[in-house]
Amino acid sequence: MSNHWSVHCVDCNDDHGNPRNHAEDGMVALIAHREVWELVGERAPDVSELSYDGRVLSGYRVIPFWFLKHRGHVLAPQSEYGYLLDDCTKQFTCGECNTVHTCRRKKDHTGGHSRIRGYTPGPRL
């Protein structure tokens, strides 16, 4: 099954664009080099894009200014379906509305599943 991935800013809900099929490892590599992209965006603002050729991703169009704009933000690989690489993604049935959802909490979380990222269920009142 096709699954395109891109770099996503979790803080701003902004996407780098240029998604690639089955390229989650390539997005991890791009994020690992984010300081390089930020530096290029800062020191050479006239460079609108670069071509990245790495071990797990080749010919990828990097936009340095995008990385500079998101300096210090949480970046993560995101699938075309909106899931982050570290999301649980297990299907569960909501006890309240009886609807099937996909869990957006982090992999290996404790407690119940939730369709809301970062949600930690508290005690029921």
Task: Give 1's contacts (C-beta < 8 A, 6+ positions apart).
Answer: none
Q: Is the dihedral of CA 82, 105, 25, 48 positive or negative?
A: positive
What is the reported pLDDT for 75?
94
- Using the 8-state DSSP alphabet, how is residue 114 labeled? -
pLDDT per residue rounded down to tens, the chain (125 residues): 789 999 999 999 999 998 999 999 999 999 999 999 999 999 999 999 999 888 888 889 999 999 999 999 999 999 998 888 988 889 989 888 888 988 888 888 888 888 877 655 444 43
Q: Note the pTM of the prediction, 2 decimals.
A: 0.79
H or E element that contains 41: helix 34-43
